[in-house]
Structure formats: C-alpha cells, structure tokens
Structure 1
Amino acid sequence: MSGHHWQGKRVTVAGLGVSGIPAAKVLHGLGAVVTVVNDGDDERARAQAAELQAEGISVRLGDGATLPKGTELVVTAPGWKPDKPLFAAAAEAGVEVWGDVELAWRLRGLDGKEAAPWLAVTGTNGKTTTVRMLASILEAAGLKTAAVGNIGVSLLDAVLGDEKYDVLAVELSSYQLHWAPSLRAHSAAVLNLAPDHLDWHGSMEAYAADKGRIYEGNRVACVYNAADPATEDLVRAADVEEGCRAIGFTLSAPGPSQLGVVEGLLVDRAFVPDRQRQAQELAEVADVQPPAPHNIANALAAAALARAYGVEPSAVRDGLRAFRPDAHRIEHVAEVDGVAYVDDSKATNTHAAEASLAAYEPIVWIAGGLAKGATFDELVRKSAKRLRGVVLIGADRELIRDALARHAPEVPVVDLDRTDTGAMPAAVREAAGLARPGDTVLLAPACASMDMFVNYNKRGEAFADAVRELAAERA
C-alpha cells in the first residue's frame, strides 16, 4: 500500500490512548484527513486532544458513536467492542474497520524495502512470556528482532521506524485479531483456549474464532497445544498456504511433527530430516526459568516458532537460558521459615491460576478479586489435593469460598472479608500461619485486581512488600 493511497483519504480513528494517538499521527503524516472520536471527555482526554489538534488533527470528544461525514475508513483501538454504534454506522455506509494491527500490517514495506516477516502468538494465557522467549531465541540466533504488538515496541513503530528488523515476534490479543482481517503471518501459535473476555466477544465460539484468525494464511507452521484440542481444531479450520504444517507441542514425549519433553530435555521431532525416527535435542528443562509446567509449554511454543523460521538448536538453548520472565509471573519472592513465597499476580483468570497451582505442592493459596463472570468449581476440583489452606480477599471471594466448600471442604479457609489494599499484609500473615516448612504460599488470585489495586503489578508489589516485611520480622 503506497503512500499515495493515503493522500486526502478521510479516516476516522476511534479512541485516544496507546494505539489511537500513534495511529492518528501516522495517518496524518501520510497525508490522510484524520478525525479522532472518543467517548470520554475528561481532563486526560482533553490534554491528548490538544496534542493532536496542535498537529492539525481534528478531535471530537464525548461523541464516539457518530460516524463523521465522508469517512472512508475507520481505524479503531482494539478494546472498542464490535457492537458499538460507530461500527454499525460504518457497516451501513460500507466503510471498512481496521485495528492498529491491521493498519501496521498494511503499512509494511511502505519505504520500498522488504518487510520483516511476523511470528505471531496468541492464547488465553502465556502470550507475553512466549513472545519474549521467542525474541530471546531469535536474538541468540543473531537476528535483528523485537517483541511487539500487545507488548514492548509498538507495531507501527516497528514497521515504520528507522530500525530495520529481520523478523518480528508479535503478541496479539483476541481484540486485536478481531480487527485484523488481512493479517498473514509467517508462522503462528495459539497457546491455549479458556473462557475469557466473553463480555466483549459475546460467546466462547466468537472468542475462539477471533483467536483462530492468527492462523489464516500462515506460510510455514501453525503451532498448536497438543493438550488443548481446541487449538488444533482452529488449525484444521484455517485457510493456510500450500505446504504450511501443523506443529504440536506437548509436555510428554513428542510424536512426529511435535516438540516435547523426554527425560528432562526439550526435543524437536518436527523440524528434522526424518521425523518418524529422529529427534533433535534443543535444550534442557533446567534451561527454562522457572521450570513450571506451563512455562515449559511456553518455551516449547517459542521454540517451535523459532525452528519454523530456521533457527538452529543451539540458539534455542542459548535464548532460553538468557530469558528471564517479567515480574509477577510465578516469581519467587523469598523463603521464610522454610516456606517459599511466590508471586503470580498475573494469574488474573482461572486458567492461569490452574497452571500456577499445578507447579507447586503443598500450597497455601491467596486468591480473590474481580471474577469477571468466572466460575471456580473446576479450578478448585483440579487443585484441591494440593491445597494446605486458602486465604481469600477481594470483592468476589465468596465465589471461590463456595467452590471450596463444594470440592475441598476439608481445606482450611480464611475469609478476610476485605477489599482494601491493606488486606494484602494481613493475607500474607494468615497464610504464614497456615503454612508448614516445605510449603509454598502462592499468590495466584484467579481474578482481576481492580477492586483493590490499580493493576496486577501493584497487587504483586503489595504481596512482595508484605513478604519482605514478614522476613525482616522473623530474621
């Protein structure tokens, strides 16, 4: 798509913020006539609007429902729900709606140079970790890369900036995929599927379908989770290029066209000359930090995408060894009186909490927050045998308490009946009272944090501070 295409084109950008403002500036710079519409009209929005207006971009605050006259294209922030009136008006007028990912995809190669291919990752949980692992592996292979998309460098900066990349490791949310109809990745992975954001998508089927868009048009490999049949179903449904392969990853011994684990080794039976009889060692399980089961699965998915791109086994090993996860993802905080304290505040839904709980035993579990419509029976039933005790905090803690009464009635439960930020030190002290040497006190809330904290980072920091205070007292 050449720069001439945009001269005078009337584009409406829906939403201010981390994607809307860069999109508006880029389109304006290409010569488009840009109008930004935004639902909010608060002090922050007015400041953002003033910044854009100073560059000659029109902004309408407090009116995100009306399609500006003459609009030829809408570019939306990914979080705007598909049922908003603006999009209904666009559909009636025959106007396309793109997200920021679609815009970035269409603008690749605008400078006339060959565009870097995309290795794309989505899933309910593990996206950020897997993409950062993938970027670390690609860097170890000597490739110029960046972790982009729903993480790190913005996609628009990556495709239009002065930095030229060999390949991009791209994290994509279901929201972003919904608004990216023409995306065609080199290779892509869906890590897992569990109910999430159903209020936005409307149903589990619609959520899964949006995740599955990541496979459309893949050239080399569609990577799926062999333990999650829904991800393989998405591969089967995808329209891919001739010769594109389905590549599974598993925590068990791999079959042909899979990556898996054998006697403490990560091995490849997909990208080898004779996958019926041959396997290639990639790394040791110990090279993955932390070596929790779901993190090993993330490493295998990252390795599969890197191998699909032609990366050598030694780079997989070196990249995994160099990688360190972000804070608040199964992060060991301290050991106090023989009890390990682990912060997995990022476990904001039941699927993530289940993976976290599966990594330890016995556990004193700190849980609760905003349930976002989730139910907890399956999580508690699967994890009951690992639980030494449970400490509950947050607005929707009674949902977890009721599930514990049904499926783990013998497990001691402390219900703090609190939603203030000061509840976390109390929760840590209650957990310490339930724990025995050799146990793990695990913050894996299975809920969002906004009832008590600004975000999951602040929740994790409060937990870590409380643990360090406990350690200082008992030193």
Structure 2
Amino acid sequence: MGSQEVSSTVDWQGKHVTVAGLGVSGIPAARALHERGALVTVVNDGDDERARAQAAELEALGITVRLGDGATLPPSTELVVTAPGWQPDKPLFLAAAEAGVPVWGDVELAWRLRGDNGRKAAPWLAVTGTNGKTTTVRMLASILEAAGLRTAAVGNIGVSLLDAVLGETEYDVLAVELSSYQLHWAPSLRAHSAAVLNLAPDHLDWHGSMAAYAADKGRVYEGNTVACVYNAADPATEDLVREADVEEGCRAIGFTLGAPGPSQLGVVDGILVDRAFVANRQKQAQELAEVTDVNPPAPHNIANALAAAALARAFGVEPAAVRDGLRAFRPDAHRIEHVADIDEVRYVDDSKATNTHATEASLAAYDSIVWIAGGLAKGATFDELVTGAAKRLRGVVLIGADRALIREALTRHAPEVPVVDLDRTDTGAMSEAVARAAELARPGDTVLLAPACASMDMFTNYNKRGEAFADAVRARADESA
C-alpha cells in the first residue's frame, strides 16, 4: 500500500464507537465520528466542572457521555478511539482486547480520515524522539513554508491532527510531531518520511520497559516511502531503521554534528551540508546553511536543524529554502531562551528540559554553568548526567520535591562543586534560586535553568516555571540597571 493512498474506507453510519477521554483529542474525535453517522459514546475518568461543561456540549449534539467511569467498555462497542495518554493496561483496553475490539488513537483516526473531505490527502513528514520533537517540527514547517509549500506543524505540538486533515485548508504537506503514546495507538500510519531524533529512558511507567518504548518510537518508520532519518550519534535510532518494514526504495539518512558520510547530513567548517540528496553523494556535498543560521546554535539544536533539513530535502525542498527557513525560525519560549545578561553573566531559561536527556543537551551548550535544577524526578536517576556535566559546573542551586536525588549524585560525582539546597517548594522559591545562583556566578558564566525534572510539585507546568525564572531574572536586571 502506498503511503499517500487513503489507508482504508470505513462506513461509519451506525457504527458503535467509544471515545476514551475528553480533551484536546477526544472532543474533536467524538465530533468527527458523530458527523459521519457513528453512534458515539464518550467515557471519561473525571467528573469535574470542566468535564461536565464539555459533556453538555457533546450531549447537545446527540453524543452519549459517561463521566466518572472510564474503565467499563460500553455494550456493542465496535471500535475504541483513545486519547494518547491513556495507558495500555487500563481495564477499558483489556476488555476491548478480550472482546476483539480494535483500539485506535487520535493519530490513527486522523490517518484513516485524511482525504475524507474529497481532497487529496497531504503527505506526512513525521518526527519523534525523546527530546527535540517540537523544535524540529517547527523548524521543518518553517523550511517548508520558505519553499512556498502550504503546510502546518501539527500533532503532539498542540494543533489537532483531525482539525488539520478535516479542516478547510488544503495542505501540500504536514510536519507532524508524534509522541510514543500516539505511535503506540497508530498501527496503520505510513509517513512519506520520518525521523527519530534520539532515544533515552522516558515514560517507562507507561510503556513498561525501554524496549517497548523504543519499539513504539520505531513505529514511525513503518511503511516510509522516501527516507528514514536517524541520528548517527545514537545507534539505537539506526537500529530502529534496520528493523522497520519500509517501501521499496526508501533510504536510511543519517545526521551528524561531524563531517557527513554518504547518505548523511552534517557539519563542515561551520556549514550544514547534505551528502544524501545530491547527484553524486560519494564525492559531492551541498551547502545548506551556516551554523549561525540556527537559533540558538547549541549542539543539540544544530542536530534538530539537520533532522528537519533531511526531511525537507527528502520532500524535494531546495537548499536555499533550508537556509531561509532556519533563519526565519524562532524557538518557543522556555527552550534555551536567553533572558538577560547581568554583570556579564548570561541567564538562560530551559524549563522545557524536564528529563535528564534534555538537560544533558542543555548543559553541553555552555562552558561554565551555575545550574538551577530539581522538581519531580519521575523515577529518573542523575549519576550519568552529573558525571558528564561536572567539569562545566561552577555551582548548583537545587529546588523542588526530589532535589535530594540530584544532591546525592553531585556528592558522589562532583563533590567539589558548591551546592545550594533550597528547602522549599513554594513558587516563590524561584526568586531565591536566581538570587543564590547570581551569588555563585562569575563574569562569563551562564546561569541555566534546566531542571531535569517535571514541574508539577511547584508549578502548573514547565511554562509557569520558566516564567517565574524569567520574572526573577528581569527583576534583578531592573535592580542592577
């Protein structure tokens, strides 16, 4: 089956479909299925005021909603469509498996419905990985736009894939961010080309093991037609390419921060170059952009840019559009975001670094660091992270519920590094953390918020944590002005 053919035609009229979960994916799924004549029942674990308001809107359309009971499979169910975060071992899914009822995620539903509105289905360029997905997808969309293509950054990035494939806009190509959760529930997805940026332990409580997590990430390569893009510095990503069942003629394309070999993109003398999509890849390389065109030019972000460039080149985008798209790209807030320089010390917000893998990349971007870290560890360990970063650390300020885990790793592997342990988890702790970091910093240092932990012990989300850091830094800047 070619990847751009509509994967199947379903007669939805009268089909009993259970949608698991209200929210960003569940509500659009319920509406889309109801509009196509399906008999939809939405089940949801929560029964709070917001859920009741959402339920009322759906019930007004004729959709059945059961609040406070997401465990029981409704009678006559022929298909379950689930929100991506629902774990596979939930009783609802166990009951579905026992009854022989298939389970799809929102991505699977969007894949099956693309082209349903009578227009040509746009091909998907898909990105997954433990870290860097959102940045890479947004870089890719910027490059595609610079090439004059109608595109959007969609998927796990916040724009509903269902809205993208069923909306009024007719796209030439979609830049799609996919989480391991979404890929788990997307058995028939077949992308034009896809990239796995990196693999590190994450969400193991959901997947059950690192092997299962990697296998779900590897689903993104299944059925690719043009390119499977992998990280040459992360052999596990190349292993996933080898294991994938792809269309005949699909190529493995690597990216590297070093000089590229044939069928790779890489960096030579500060230039991003392509030795994959050129006439003679044994002897030729095509210049794409300068490292300084990448914002910010931190090593892991250059890797993101190379992955985005590889997917764009796989789609036939010219080199000039790669350069122009990277120049036009602006990173999201709280991703290696420069906040201010105070007394020759740089203050950088990378609150999005919520796990050790992301924090490792963040720490590698600077030479001398006062590190602000801590929060909810999510079962992570920090010995490897601290060992790798020890020589770069001027000092460390610890905040949050699980800060002791990081402190213990510092004691074992960086005992000479000064550590300030803030025994508080209120939101005001960030102002003190910035003040204590400033005391440790010297001219030329970087005070870096890269927590390696989730934020919910102190803040609503990582955005709020980053905003608290930025507010505290700006307050100090105003005082020193």
Matches within 5 A, 1:422-461: 422-461=428-467
Letter in 2 for 1:5: D
- Shift of residue 113, structure 1, vs aligned partner: 2.3
The answer for the alignment partner of 1:109 in structure 2 is 115
Take 1:301 and 1:369, find their aligned partners in 2: how far apart are those partners?
30
- What corresponds to 1:146 in structure 2? 152
Q: Which moved more, 1:3-12 or 1:347-356?
A: 3-12
* 1:256 aligned counterpart, secondary structure: coil
- Within a 5 Å distance, the mapping from 1:203-242 to structure 2 comes to 203-242=209-248
* Cα distance in 1, alignment partners of residues 407 and 117 from structure 2: 57
Partner of 2:196: 190
Is contact 1:345-1:445 (8 Å) kept? yes
TM-score, normalised by the number of residues in structure 2: 0.98
Of 76-85 and 103-112, the range deviating more from structure 2: 103-112
Q: Who is 2:297 aligned against?
A: 291
Equivalent residues of 2:376, 2:453 under 8 A apart: yes
Moved more, 146-155 or 367-376: 146-155
Q: Structure 1, residues 403-451: CA drift from partner, whole Å, max 9, x if none? A: 0000000000000111110000000000000000000000000000000
The correspondence of residues 224-263 of structure 1 with structure 2, limited to 5 A, is: 224-263=230-269
The one-character-per-residue Cα deviations of 1:327-375 (angstroms, maximum 9, x if unpaired) are: 0000000000000000000000000000000000100000000000000
**Is 1:44 aligned to 2:88, yes or no?**
no
Q: Of residues 202, 207, 212 in structure 2, which corresponds to 1:201?
A: 207
**C-alpha contact 1:365 1:390 (8 A) present in aligned 2:** yes
Counterpart Cα distance in 2 of 1:185 and 1:318:
25
Partners of 1:63 and 1:416 lie apart in 2 by 41
Given that residues 338 and 438 in structure 1 are in contact (C-alpha distance below 8 angstroms), is that contact kept between their aligned partners in structure 2? yes
Instruction: State the SS of the aligned residue for 2:11.
Output: helix
State yes or no: 1:373 paired with 2:402: no
1:4 positional shift = 6.7
Partners of 2:333 and 2:255 in 1: CA distance: 25
Gaps of 5+ in 1: none
1:346 aligns with 2:337: no
**Separation in 2 of the partners of 1:161 and 1:338?**
49
**For 1:295-334, what aligned pairs fall within 5 Å after superposition?**
295-334=301-340
Kept in 1: contact 2:20–2:80 (CA 8 A): yes
Deviation, 1:154, is 1.2
Match of 2:96 in 1: 90
SS state at 2:272 partner? strand
Cα distance in 2 for partners of 1:358, 1:238 equals 32
Q: State the TM-score, normalizing by the size of structure 1.
A: 0.99
Deviation, structure 1 residue 152: 4.0
Number of residue pairs aligned between Structure 1 and Structure 2: 475
Amino acid at match of 1:356: S
What is the rounded CA distance, in whole Å, between the counterparts of 1:164 and 1:153 in structure 2? Answer: 15
Do residues 73 (structure 1) and 79 (structure 2) align? Answer: yes
How far residue 42 of structure 1 moved from its aligned partner, in angstroms, is 1.3
Contact kept in structure 2, 1:3 and 1:30, CA below 8 Å: no
Whether the 8 Å contact between 1:140 and 1:318 is mirrored in structure 2 is yes
Structure 2 contact 87–206 (Cα < 8 Å) conserved: yes
Structure 2: runs of 5 or more not aligned: 1-5
State how far apart, in whole Å, the 1-side matches of 2:449 and 2:10 are: 53
Rounded Cα–Cα distance in structure 2 between residues aligned with 1:86 and 1:291: 46
Is the partner of 2:103 in helix, strand or coil?
A: strand
Contact kept in structure 2, 1:266 and 1:300, CA below 8 Å: yes
Which residue of structure 1 aligns with residue 18 of structure 2?
12
User: What residue number does 1:472 align with?
Assistant: 478
Partner AA of 1:334 in structure 2: A
Q: Secondary structure at the match of 1:75?
A: strand
What is the CA distance between 1:151 and its match in structure 2?
1.3
C-alpha contact 1:249 1:258 (8 A) present in aligned 2? yes
| Match in the other structure for 1:404 | 410
1:362 and 2:362 aligned: no
CA distance in 2 between counterparts of 1:462 and 1:447 reads 16
Q: CA deviation at 1:3?
A: 7.5
Choose the corresponding residue for 1:272, options 278, 288, 301: 278
In structure 2, the CA distance between the partners of 1:467 and 1:220, relative to structure 1 (3 Å rule), is same
